[in-house]
Structure 1
Amino acid sequence: MADVRSPTLPGDPQSAEAPPSPTHVTTRREDYRAPDWLVPEIALDFSLDLERTRVRAILSVERNGDHDRPLKLDGDGLALLKVKLDGADAAARQDGEQLVIDIAGDRATVETEVEISPAANTQLMGLYASGGMLCTQCEAEGFRRITFFPDRPDVLSRYRVRMEGDAARFPVLLSNGNRVATGEAADGRHWAEWEDPFPKPCYLFALVAGDLQANSDRFTTASGREVELNIYVRAADLPKTAHAMHSLKQAMAWDEQVYGREYDLDLFNIVAVSDFNMGAMENKGLNVFNTAYVLADQDTATDGDFDNIARVVAHEYFHNWSGNRVTCRDWFQLSLKEGFTVFRDQGFSADIGSAAVKRIEDVRVLRAAQFPEDSGPLAHAVRPDSYLEISNFYTATVYNKGAELIRMFHTLLGPEKFRAGTDLYFDRHDGEAATCDDFVAALEDASGVDLSRFKIWYSQAGTPHVRAHISHDADAKAALLHLSQHLAPTPGQAVKQVMPIPLRTALIDRHSGEQIGDERLIVLDEAEQAFRFDGVGSAPMLSINRGFSAPILLDVARGPGELERLAQADGDPFARYEAIQELMMRALVAGAQANAVDADTVVEAIAATLADDRIDAAFKAEAILAPSEALIADRLDVVVPDAVHRARDALRAAVGARLSDAMLAAHRQEGGAGNDLSPEAKGIRRLRSVALGYFAAGDATAGAALAKAQFDGADNMTDRQGALGLLVSLDGPERVQALDAFYLRFREDPLVLDKWFGLQAMAQRAETVDEVLKLAEHPDFTISNPNRLRALAGSFAANHWAFHSPDGRGYAFLADMILAADKLNPQTAARLVPPLGRWRRFEPHRSKLMRAQLERVAGTSGLSKDVYEQASKSLV
């Protein structure tokens, strides 16, 4: 979605602990102990009902090691009906949320029967109801809400599952593995039995029962096996599943070609669910997806939606090996599966689209989500050392920074040695629960390369700050690259160690723009280092961290005109993009600090980029897009949101006014028909919206008219949403007309209605807070659906200017949403806390208001441990 420890660093533990609470217990990685009891086999029998489901579980248990400790089974919210040990009533006792059973021998059969209420399960963890169907979510610790079991990832079992339910209400009965039997039962009920031949941890268990229809297809593996593929949805949604099926087949073929991984069952099922906390879940052979990552057609889904569906379908499929066949030993190793699989899905997306644009998008996400995490109160290592609630560690650090760590390994080893290492990893640990150290050891053993120093990236939080400048010796015809690094303290880590940082580096001739010699991979592994380049006749320009080879903050000393030249000449697409972005960022930071702004260089660089026929529309769109207000704020010691907003608006207005003809030409570029999903067509549509935004910034009246014309004439959601996304921030009749038309057309489509809520929450208007408060009272807003809550509250919290309204109403609104959601769904509520946790970065007035709302949240009685951990750590 999913022990040989590295050397302990000064300042451990790596995660600052929340203040003590009588009901919340901290789990620490250093306390890991192998399970006392294993469960090689489990049989589950479900009598399904929306209100009252009975679950009978038969566990074959084995003592693990020489000890006399009892069997302890985790449970949460279960009504226990009976417990048997080897067929006889057992003298079991409950200790908190655990069921404790004393067992004399080394093996036994334990039977339990419990009752649960899926309809009352608003947490959406365990077995729950969604729109009349039943489904499960067990990662990380949801299986204990289904039956009593040692709910930890290092207990792997083979599952046999029987389900019985009303045939009319639940005509489709699905679980993991293969369906082995079906039949009719009394009173209009029917049943199905499923077996999964592969041992798996309980977090990968899945069950779905409902009135669904399948888009079915087949895939022939490299070895010639036929695999049946099904995507189950409600009947009305069946036409919107074609792209997801196409993406699945692409992912299966890609994993065979790039990683040599072939699918191992004869059946692969996906089910789309409306109420889901995450994007999707990789349950073995039965992936459960949020509908947002399955359903798409040109009328209702943007190009971004199509890309996200391909990415998430691939991600969950790739987990079949990097997460399922080899799983993680404990939840501290979460990045073992998630960071690795994100890296794999990034490679897939790059190969089926534009590699350059994909890298830009990935780094933008990292900077927007992970860098702030690394610099704030919730900073933690890729492999954290402690937690109160593991669900809080499904973070950008674990996923995205974890993927960057894997990318560094790939860069250091090269494709062939990296592939040899992953082959060894899969072969060595197939059917096991492994650790991050196991993964690194496989890479080392297969490549012969010592990676031990790089393991510090797993255990040390924070984003390294690298400074670079280059000097030139004309007589020696040599250039010297001077580098230094610094890593600021993070919670729980006051003292930092030097990081090994791989930097892809090249020198560029100032006059010709040609690269001087070959690109070099430099590893900065000291606090200060110098690297010599020979054969350099004149003072060169520096192109460094090409392809974003390391997740760092980079400060390069540049001469006059150097960024402008690199923006046109650098042969590395990402480095070229960085040069243009840095030109804009310098102007924006100056404006936010009330200093003089050199808009001329930005205008000239954007004009030259638009006019360059050597680059495609997709790259142009990404390169000229102005940095977000949040990214600008990250460059400031003290953030004043109004100043940041004014600076960005002013620069965009200057660009739009002076390049209005060029922006109109880009907007009118031919191609990009709505039914064309090629990378070229997507690029044209992307540039169309970016150019429209600049044009409207320079002339709001003409921009509104052009946006309304695009909205009315759009034959696809990308153009329609692009126009509406602009209109929501403008005053005038076009705004209201477009919003009303959008709502009337799509109010019956939940996913598109989420867009309607989200676009208004992101509006750059002084009235946005008032409008968001009204939307929270709208009949179509529901706090119980995670997608709808994220669309309104999550989008608003990402609206830098509106959220930070100086009256503090934005902060109060978010705190209200957190507290209300916490009563229903703590996991979703906790993910809304981090925007308030950045209070230290802001000017005193806003800082005080943000902290007050955090204190209100943290001080609320009966708070879940999910929200408590996030809020209390944010106050430390």
Structure 2
Amino acid sequence: MLKDNGQVFRLEDYRESDYLIPEVTLTFQLGPAETLVTAVLKVERRQGVAVTAPLTLDGDGLVLAGLAVNGAKADATTFEASPDRLILRKTPHAARFELTIETRLSPTKNKALMGLYVSNGVFCTQCEAEGFRRITYFLDRPDVLSVYTVRIEADRKEAPLLLSNGNPVEKGALDAERHFAVWHDPHPKPSYLFALVAGDLGAVTDSFTTASGRAVDLAIYVEHGKEERAAYAMDSLKRSMRWDEERFGREYDLDVFNIVAVSDFNMGAMENKGLNVFNDKYVLADADTATDLDFANIEAIIAHEYFHNWTGNRITCRDWFQLCLKEGLTVFRDHEFSADQRSRAVKRIAEVRALRAHQFPEDQGPLAHPVRPRRFREINNFYTATVYEKGSEVVRMIRTVLGQDAFRAGMDLYFERHDGQAVTIEDFIKAFEDASGRDLAQFSLWYHQAGTPNVAIATRHDAREGTLTVEIEQSVPPTPSESRKRLMHIPLAFGLVGPDGQDMAYESAEGATVEDGVIHLRKRHHTVRFSGLKARPVLSINRGFSAPVTMAASSVAKERLFLARHDRDPYSRWQALNTLFTEALISATRRKRGGRQLAFPDELVGLAVELAGDGALEAAFRALALTLPAEADIAREIGENIDPDAIYAARMALLSTIAEAGRGDFAGLHASLHDNAPFAPDAAGAGRRALRNALIEYMALAAGDPGPAREQFDTADNMTERAAALTVLAHHFPKHGDSREALARLEAQYRDNPLVLDKWFQIQAMIPSSDTVELMRELMGHAHFSLTNPNRVRALIGTFAMANQTAFHSADGSGYRLVADTVMALEKHNPQVSARLATAFRSWRSLESGRREHARLVLADMAQRKNLSRDLADIVERTLA
């Protein structure tokens, strides 16, 4: 049985700290083997707190080197120090006093990558969520806001660059070998936003003039020789800054804005005030080494971290239960930015696909939790798709419910009312209620209740009366700790599509609140009756994915085919086609398990070929139309007794059927999309390449040999098309000489480029073969594989566990054992990444009995291990519950 691995924190137990720390002065005497940190804390006892109240500061593996109170060495009888806590049992009678704490750190030994560590010779910090306590003893909680002054001392040759939060104040020489720099951040911030970087790095510099005319110096720091690959990141930053001024009225507030890219990082990036630290995967890009997806991710994540300056930094979370208040809100903002920069329709479809792939399974499994959790044991385990992606969808629904103008008024009021504060979801909702005059109490359940609502819909048309009756019913399935659910406010955008493909106007709508093309579902059951409709319309519902729900509609395939051809809402058009694909694949999966022949509707196959060649549609949309639901998507829809091999066979059969049907069209279309112009990572160019890459898979399958993919691999002048061709070679012809030669060539050409090698590992981790488990063991022995680099672990092990449904779910359980062994090996030095890998087992109960038992045994074995980290124990315990 799992032992209790730590305190369970509950939202209802929140209370303010007895003390505040309004000012912090930090001095770092940096050394790789030993660093001395001196923290001078200006401490303030809250009004009404007794003088006898002890001051308890958080620590994590710290070594106390010295302690002074108001400049005098602390009496050993007045305090208690351990690696994880410092308790000052007796504090001065004055309400304000000064505490000086010295700690000794070993940055090179810190492989958890939390606190202060060294990455490729560069000193770096990561403090969210609770990493600051690995640097010094502190009230390490989001609602303690402090003004920081930081002095950094280091060897000039080892670290010519010395950075921290805020604005530069002073710099100079200490002696012939060492120098210093002082930084001051005038904006009070929680400790999780503290940052320090020191090392020898190259720089890309620029400037930005704000709307009020202030000049801001911009810099992106990268490893020497990689400066040119940071140009797109700089361009994305400047566009983000201008967009936030125009769309949300938010102007930057410091004299400098710095970004540092490091190769060892547990996350994508971190929004530390004025000094963002990034995983270099989301900074470095050029046509030769990065794909269009990489460029789009860089644009989005640069924007995301910059937007945090207001939604997360200037206004932060009162406690970690409010994490979605910064993350969900900021994801919404970066989604809007990307939609404005690229294709809004295509971006929306991509967002929904990601939500369904990652968040829906979370909501349907043992790790389900509300957008605002009510309890946690380890906060690192709640940086989830529910908090981020579903949190974003909730903000989007607020805009749908209120309308754009009232939404903007609510955001403006939120910024005005709470600037400089640590706040809650209730504060956020109240701003919108006050700005709009609307009651959002029922709507707020989206923050407080776990689970994905299901909406069942049936329609009935009466030609004589000219009415369309729509029956709508909502339900929310039970989730862990929540068996009974309350009724939600679900905004469903809709249209009534007439026989000519145009939206039909209706005279009236009775039975529910219908405003601006949105049905507001508030009760369990609504009957909505539209009048003035002599011709029968086809209901297009949940347009733009206006609510993150599952749909059970009574519409027939003929109606979905009609919407896939004619719906004016691009998302709904794609959704109709995707639903048809999903239903066909589920049916084929069941026939495969029953030993019957697989066949697919001619109309569906023909529609896919038709849409691929429709030049009136965006190329990126056509690529999405040719992209079948992933195996995990099909498994999620089947829901129970899942056989991954049958799903794979069904999907391959449909791919092959479409390939054969499009044999006469796809090659010519592929050739016509070739662009001789220089590579540009814009929406139009990315769309053309996306469609070419979708077509090349079908062309290779139709040919029955790797020739088309090998030709694209050989002639591609960009990584987008090169990696896509290699994927087709490796996945469909893994034992062919062309595939092996292409893999060897990419490895040889880019062996000194870690980000391209990650792609090389990732492509192989996705090979859908029974031999892949053995290949994984070989790749883990590769000279360039390392368990200490999170990017490499995610590229190989993470891809295998999260995305390779056939190999991870090998019938003999070998895939589960491989991942479990890696999780346990990784847990010894990086519990955070280890725990995230373990979430791959979250859907084990939905598998067929043989695989289910293999997975259960592996999880039970992990649960029996001694001294599991709190991170991993929490995931394993909840997954087994």
TM-score in terms of structure 2 length: 0.96
Select 2:850's aligned residue among 840, 845, 850.
845
In structure 2, the residue matched to 1:638 is 641
Q: Does 1:554 align with 2:551?
A: yes
In structure 1, the residue matched to 2:736 is 732
What per-residue deviation string (whole Å, max 9, x for no partner) do you get for residues 345-368 of structure 1? 000000000000100110011000
Q: Is the 8 A contact 1:83 1:92 kept in 2?
A: no
Select 1:859's aligned residue among 858, 864, 881.
864
SS state at 2:451 partner: coil
Q: Is the 8 A contact 1:671 1:681 kept in 2?
A: no
**Aligned-pair distance for 1:486?**
1.4
SS state at 1:214 partner: strand
Amino acid at match of 1:700: G
Distance in 1 (CA, whole Å) between partners of 2:703 and 2:605 is 16
**Aligned-pair distance for 1:723?**
0.4
Amino acid at match of 1:249: K
| Larger CA deviation: 526-535 vs 147-156 | 526-535
Distance in 2 (CA, whole Å) between partners of 1:383 and 1:364 is 22
Distance in 1 (CA, whole Å) between partners of 2:218 and 2:423 is 29
What per-residue deviation string (whole Å, max 9, x for no partner) do you get for residues 642-698 of structure 1? 110110000100000111122212321234445122211110100011111122233
Select 1:772's aligned residue among 776, 799, 802.
776
In structure 1, the residue matched to 2:18 is 36
Q: Does 1:88 align with 2:72?
A: yes
In structure 2, the residue matched to 1:13 is none
Distance in 1 (CA, whole Å) between partners of 2:696 and 2:554 is 34
Q: Which has the higher contact order (CA 8 A, sep 6+)?
A: 1
SS state at 2:297 partner: helix
In structure 2, the residue matched to 1:753 is 757
Superposition pairs of residues 346-357 of structure 1, within 5 angstroms = 346-357=335-346
**Aligned-pair distance for 1:597?**
4.1
Q: Does 1:63 align with 2:45?
A: yes
What per-residue deviation string (whole Å, max 9, x for no partner) do you get for residues 324-349 of structure 1? 00000000000000000000000000
Q: Is the 8 A contact 1:298 1:674 kept in 2?
A: no
In structure 2, the residue matched to 1:682 is 686
In structure 2, the residue matched to 1:77 is 61
In structure 2, the residue matched to 1:12 is none
Select 2:576's aligned residue among 575, 579, 586.
579
In structure 1, the residue matched to 2:395 is 406
Q: Does 1:623 align with 2:625?
A: yes
Q: Is the 8 A contact 1:808 1:846 kept in 2?
A: yes
Gaps of 5+ in 1: 1-18
Distance in 2 (CA, whole Å) between partners of 1:600 and 1:670 is 27
Superposition pairs of residues 231-630 of structure 1, within 5 angstroms = 231-509=220-498, 511-517=499-505, 520-594=517-591, 597-630=599-632
Q: Does 1:655 align with 2:658?
A: yes
Q: Is the 8 A contact 2:365 2:842 kept in 1?
A: yes
Q: Is the 8 A contact 2:2 2:864 kept in 1?
A: no
In structure 1, the residue matched to 2:513 is none
SS state at 2:672 partner: coil
SS state at 1:82 partner: strand
Distance in 2 (CA, whole Å) between partners of 1:394 and 1:678 is 30
Distance in 2 (CA, whole Å) between partners of 1:830 and 1:601 is 45
Distance in 2 (CA, whole Å) between partners of 1:107 and 1:22 is 38
**Aligned-pair distance for 1:526?**
1.3
**Aligned-pair distance for 1:447?**
1.3
Q: Is the 8 A contact 2:124 2:198 kept in 1?
A: yes
Amino acid at match of 2:681: L
Distance in 1 (CA, whole Å) between partners of 2:226 and 2:287 is 14
Q: Is the 8 A contact 1:837 1:854 kept in 2?
A: no
Amino acid at match of 2:15: R
**Aligned-pair distance for 1:839?**
1.1
Q: Is the 8 A contact 1:176 1:206 kept in 2?
A: yes
Distance in 1 (CA, whole Å) between partners of 2:830 and 2:161 is 27
Distance in 1 (CA, whole Å) between partners of 2:269 and 2:355 is 20
Q: Is the 8 A contact 1:580 1:624 kept in 2?
A: no
In structure 2, the residue matched to 1:103 is 91
Distance in 2 (CA, whole Å) between partners of 1:674 and 1:557 is 49
**Aligned-pair distance for 1:195?**
0.3
In structure 2, the residue matched to 1:26 is 8
Q: Is the 8 A contact 2:202 2:225 kept in 1?
A: no
Distance in 1 (CA, whole Å) between partners of 2:601 and 2:775 is 33
Q: Is the 8 A contact 1:474 1:538 kept in 2?
A: yes
Distance in 2 (CA, whole Å) between partners of 1:598 and 1:720 is 31
Amino acid at match of 1:279: G
* Gap change, CA 1:56 and 1:588, over 3 Å in 2: same
**Aligned-pair distance for 1:473?**
1.7
Identity of aligned residues (%): 49
Q: Is the 8 A contact 1:836 1:851 kept in 2?
A: no
Distance in 2 (CA, whole Å) between partners of 1:379 and 1:765 is 31
Distance in 1 (CA, whole Å) between partners of 2:398 and 2:618 is 30
In structure 2, the residue matched to 1:46 is 28
Gaps of 5+ in 2: 507-515
Select 1:827's aligned residue among 827, 832, 835.
832
Amino acid at match of 2:367: L
What per-residue deviation string (whole Å, max 9, x for no partner) do you get for residues 107-144 of structure 1? 11000001001101111000001011100000000000
Q: Is the 8 A contact 2:700 2:707 kept in 1?
A: no
Aligned residues: 855
Distance in 2 (CA, whole Å) between partners of 1:514 and 1:33 is 56
Distance in 2 (CA, whole Å) between partners of 1:694 and 1:470 is 37
In structure 2, the residue matched to 1:707 is 709
In structure 1, the residue matched to 2:144 is 155
Distance in 1 (CA, whole Å) between partners of 2:753 and 2:600 is 46
